[in-house]
Every structure is written in structure tokens, then in C-alpha cells.
Structure 1
Amino acid sequence: MKSKVFLIGLIFTTILSCNKELNSDNQNQINGLWLVKSFKVNNMEIPSSENWIRFNADSSLSSGNDWLQHSVGYWRYQQNTKLLTINTEIGFTYYKSPFSVEIHKTTMIWKGTKEGMEVIIILEKAEKLPTSEANKLFGLWKFDSVFIGDNDVLDSLNPNKKAMLFFRWDNQFEFHNYPEGEKYGIFKIQPYRNQLEMINYSSSPKFQFYDFKIEGENLELKSKDEKTVLKFSRIHQFLE
């Protein structure tokens, strides 16, 4: 009798252990950084703009776009229902849960509903945060040429060959070593396209709109009317 009780207990313990390992394995699969590759609502794809979400082993999570983190919260996966629940504590809830989850190697698929519409999100496992052309703008740039129409006016704006444009992390820009003195303002990058808006700090602020292109260590800003083209090369220290 004792041997039967022992055997039943052993089987029960083994089952619990297997379930725990299965749960642990699934959590280990979800843990880590994931990039949103596709976001569909009723088969209509919505641009993701380098969205990412990071699941931590302590059930906390964070999410963002490119290098920017915009939300934090916590998550829970229920093994018996295979449902993933995401709760946001700070930020905006992009991912309305719960979702059913499928994991195939480095691909994770979420399926759920939003206001009665089918939602399918496909994510890919990643090792580092995504980056975009917009992220490459940040930093210090030295003027190489300034064309207004067909005329290069760089010498009048940059007589000492030390004029610089600095895109700061807080979305402010600075012009240094200008003949008229330092200039400051704020900039905004349009999502999903390489377009830049700049407005200067002054008594009569002026909006400027550019398309930008980055190739290696070179930057080109072309005004929307295509009359002004600015070219720069990247530097890493201010020119005195």
C-alpha cells in the first residue's frame, strides 16, 4: 500500500515538474527583445516605425520606437490558455491584450481582437534595439557646401570654415561659428519618411522643411522647394 502511495506521489510530482518546466521553457522563449515586423488589423497593415518590446524574466516589460522608450509595465503568460496579457503602468498601451501566442524559433505571432476587428502582430527576436535613418541625424556636422539655386554661398555663411550644425538628443539644434552668431531651435523628424522640420528660436520664428539623406559620414538637406541644398560631413568634436 505504501509503495502504491509512493508511486502515485512520484507520478504526481513528475507531472507538476514537467508542467513547471514547460511553463518555464515558454517563458524563456518569450523573454528578451522583440521587434514588431508586421501589425495588421483586419488584414490592413499599419506601419510599425521600428517598434520594439522587451520582456524581462521578472515579468516587467518596456517598449518603444527606435532608440526611444515610451512605455513600461508588466506581462503575464498563462500556459493553460496560451494567452499573453500586457499591462502598461507608464506610457501608452499600443498592444491591447490578451493575445493568443505562437512561437516558431525566432518568430512570435500574436492574435487578438480590437473593437471587434482581428489583430495579428508578428515579432522577430532581436539582440539590439532597432535604428533608423532619423537616429543617424543626431550628433555634430560640419558644413561642406551651401547651394541656393546654382550658387554656392558657403563662403559668406562660413568664412572661417568652422560652421557646424549640432542635432542634440533632446530635439534641439544649434548652429555654431556662424558670422551672425550662434543660432538655436528645435527640430522634428517625420515618422516613416526622411523629412525634417526645423524652427529657430527668435522674435520671428521661421519654419524650414527639408528632405534628408545620409550616406556614410555625409548628410544632405534639401529644402522642400529644392532651392536650397546643404551638405555636411560628420565630426565628433566642436571646431574652435
Structure 2
Amino acid sequence: MKTRLLFLSITLFVSGIINSQSITGLWSVDQVSIGDKKMTPIAKWFKYNTDHSYQAGNGWLQNDKGSWTYNKKEKQFLPESKNGKDEYGAFKVEFSNNKMKWARMEDGMKVIVSLSRISNLPKSPKDKAVGNWQLVSVYKNQENITKSYNPEGKEAIFIRWTGTYRKTHPDTSRSNGYWYMNAHKPELHLIDYNRAIDVQVFIVTFHDNMMTMKPKNSENITFTYKRK
């Protein structure tokens, strides 16, 4: 009995080492550095399959697929996207527990991609923003101005997955347009159909069913919305 348990323990231990050294599985990108700059995309993920195919995306959006090879002896990993040829060649790979690191040279600069093994697709700010939101508070210079700004509680914004939005203003008038989220920062861009209106850019944060929007490079004002 002891011999059997010892064999099982060794098998599980070796299996764990093998799995931790495997490309296959679902990975999220923790950090991308190019030279001395960090340009990490938000909620970027890769899924490498045992048949040497892969899919990739940001949040719930898949935007790439292809095939991959891994030379265990040389520790070189080469993904080949169906979207186009990668001119920079293979990455040198390092493993550490459930972490993986890629490194290679691109245009004379060292590129390092750090990844973590995950179980589910990460959710991006873009995914979180989609929905129907009701304005619940407005603070300007740390003063609550909700009653004067939105006396009838009418302001709301409907952010559609199609990339369009509809905003109801405090006076019940409406505006419509396009929206998108910066791929590297939680910045929401609202582009009114009326091109005479400047593009609005907000820094957004989320907590439970709440979304906070702060205009970028603007007055000290904060809008908080609750999901309907």
C-alpha cells in the first residue's frame, strides 16, 4: 500500500513538472516590454491546443488564430498567425511554475512577454462596459453635485456590444454615436454622430455593478453609473 501511494505521489509530482513546462493551455499576458518601455495589452490571452493550433484575443473577443511549434531542445517557440507572417522569428522560452516568458529581438530591441497560466478567459474593460447604465452620482472637486446636475435622475448611457451607444441627458434629450476602448488603457472614447462635437475620453473603473467615469485631461469631475 505504501509503495503504491509513493508511486502515485511521484507520478503526480512528475506530471505537475511536465504540465508546468508545457506550452499547451490557456495563458494571459502579464506584461510586454520592448526595450525600456512597457506596452502591455489589456486582457490579452492565448490558447495553445495539443493539435498545435492556437487562438488569441483580448477579453471575450478572439482576434487571431494560427499554428505553433516548440523545439524543446533549443527552447524555441514559434507561433504562426493566419493573419500574416511574423518577420521576427522564434521566441526563446523560459518556464517557472505556472509562468512562461518569451524573449526575442525586434528591430534591435529586446522584447519580453510574461504570461501566466489561467483557467478562464480574462474580462477586459471593454467587456465590462457593455450594458445599460443609470447615473447615480456626480462629484466635482469632491463636492456632491448630483441633484443640481441630474435633478430628475434621467441621465443614462446604453453601451452596445455593436460599438455604438445611446446617451440620455438630464433634460431627456438624447445623443448617439460610436464608442471604443483603448487596447492598453481603461480609456473609453465616445464619438458623437455629430462630428461638430469633440470626442470625449473617460478613464473608467468598475466595481461590482458600478462604473466610474472621469474625463481625461479635464476638470476634476467624476460620474458614477449603476448597471440597470
Equivalent residues of 2:21, 2:95 under 8 A apart: no
2:4 corresponding residue in structure 1: none
2:224 corresponding residue in structure 1: 231
Q: How far does the alpha carbon of each residue in 1:109-134 deviate from its partner, in whole angstroms, 9 at most, with x for none?
A: 22322234333322211111223444
Task: Return 5+ residue gaps in structure 1 as ranges.
Answer: 1-24, 236-240
Indicate the percent of aligned positions where both proteins have the same amino acid. 24
Pick which of 55-64 and 65-74 moved more: 65-74
Cα drift, residue 227 of structure 1: 6.4
Equivalent residues of 2:20, 2:96 under 8 A apart: no
1:216 corresponding residue in structure 2: 208
Cα drift, residue 27 of structure 1: 11
Between the aligned partners of 1:56 and 1:28, the Cα distance in structure 2 is: 14
1:195 aligns with 2:187: yes
Report the secondary structure of 1:29's partner residue.
coil
Q: How far does the alpha carbon of each residue in 1:116-162 deviate from its partner, in whole angstroms, 9 at most, with x for none?
A: 4333322211111223444322211112245789572313xxx4x55
Q: 1:127 aligns with which of 119, 126, 137?
A: 119
Q: How far does the alpha carbon of each residue in 1:11-55 deviate from its partner, in whole angstroms, 9 at most, with x for none?
A: xxxxxxxxxxxxxx679821111122233344x242212322111
Q: How far does the alpha carbon of each residue in 1:162-221 deviate from its partner, in whole angstroms, 9 at most, with x for none?
A: 553111112211125975554311123234433322122237444223333333322232
Cα drift, residue 81 of structure 1: 3.1
TM-score, normalization: structure 1? 0.69
Letter in 2 for 1:225: S
1:48 aligns with 2:40: yes
Q: 2:54 aligns with which of 55, 58, 61?
A: 61
Pick which of 123-132 and 141-150 moved more: 141-150
The structure-2 alpha-carbon separation of the partners of 1:119 and 1:196, relative to structure 1 and needing over 3 Å to count, comes to closer
Within a 5 Å distance, the mapping from 1:166-205 to structure 2 comes to: 166-176=158-168, 180-202=172-194, 204-205=196-197
Letter in 2 for 1:102: E
Letter in 1 for 2:150: L
Task: Return 5+ residue gaps in structure 2 as ranges.
Answer: 1-17
Letter in 2 for 1:216: D
Cα drift, residue 105 of structure 1: 2.7
1:31 corresponding residue in structure 2: 24
Q: How far does the alpha carbon of each residue in 1:50-84 deviate from its partner, in whole angstroms, 9 at most, with x for none?
A: 32211111211122223332211111123343322
1:143 corresponding residue in structure 2: 135
Equivalent residues of 2:149, 2:170 under 8 A apart: no
1:77 aligns with 2:89: no
Larger radius of gyration: 1
